[in-house]
Amino acid sequence: MLVIEQHDDVQRLVFSSWRSRAAGYQVSTYAVRGVMIDSAFDDAGPELMAWIAANRPQGVIITHAHDDHGGNAERLAAAGVPLQMRPDTETQLRTPQRRGWHRCWTWGRMPLLQSPVIPFDADGLELIQAPGHAPDHHVVWDAERETLFAADLFLSVKVRVAHPVHREDVRQQIGTIRNILTRNPKRVFDAHRGLLQDGAVLLAAKANWIEETVGQIDRRIGDDWPDRAIVKEVFGGEPMLAYTSRGDFSHANFVASVRKTGASGGTA
């Protein structure tokens, strides 16, 4: 299913399938400056390609290799649509990845990128490294219009779960968000929630919340608490998602990410 919203110069394409809706998810791509940002998931492919054929964008930027952002990279490349992505994203899209049960069910297949990529430059749009959510995560910045296409940088203020298969690094997210905020975005578009009201304020709140939570976890790690006790004390136990995703998204992973990266600046 495709729902299209117009926000002045930006078109938001909201894609979902019955399975993603049942799991509570949708994902957006954005059309701006004659370019599309991200490619949604495989099941959205026919609707995405119909929009591409009708609107003929200069190319598609892929922010990171997750299945709900790069799920149509192969379809686009095979159709000769130019793509812009960083080399680490392209490498991941060309390499089979372990995907959790929850992601496979929500987003469907994840076809490997096999066709050659025709690169392109998007005038007025800058692809900026924003690691943390994933090592290859990027955001797109329109400096002239002070607009941030934040991909999965925000999601929500308190994302209390982390995902080890994606090599999510919660500590790294603090510096990444603050670095992006030095650009003073006036508009922030989230890949799942659309145009955020007071996006910069929300992003700052998120960085502060992660920093405070990581600090609480660091103190308990310093006092030799086991992870399970930390999860109980800091988060009040695990959410239902930890069970439905069979542990892929859990507070334990959040704590493990904090432990792995160390209190003194990180090792990852």
Q: Which residues bind Zn ion (CB under 5 A)?
A: 66, 152
Question: How far apart are alpha carbons 263 and 256 in whole angstroms?
Answer: 12
Find the shortest distance in angstroms from Cβ 113 to Zn ion: 16
Is the Cβ–Cβ distance between 94 and 112 less than 8 Å?
yes
DSSP 200: H
DSSP string of 210-251, one letter each residue: HHHHHHHHHHHHHTT--HHHHHHHHHSS--HHHHHTTTSSBH
Is the Cβ–Cβ distance between 157 and 202 less than 8 Å?
yes
Nearer to Zn ion, 51 or 107 (CB): 107
3-state secondary structure of 143: coil
Give me the residue whose beta carbon is nearest to Zn ion.
66
Find the shortest distance in angstroms from Cβ 168 to Zn ion: 9
Nearer to Zn ion, 55 or 95 (CB): 95
Nearer to Zn ion, 12 or 66 (CB): 66
Find the shortest distance in angstroms from Cβ 152 to Zn ion: 4
Nearer to Zn ion, 136 or 218 (CB): 136
Find the shortest distance in angstroms from Cβ 259 to Zn ion: 22
Find the shortest distance in angstroms from Cβ 158 to Zn ion: 17
Nearest Cα neighbor of 177 from 144, 145, 155 is 155
Greatest CA separation found in the chain?
Answer: 60
Find the shortest distance in angstroms from Cβ 68 to Zn ion: 7
* 266: number of Cβ within 10 Å: 13
Nearer to Zn ion, 145 or 192 (CB): 192
Question: To the nearest 10°, the Cα dihedral for 152, 157, 158, 164?
Answer: 20
Nearer to Zn ion, 77 or 134 (CB): 134
* Parallel/antiparallel/unpaired status of strands 10-15 and 126-129: unpaired
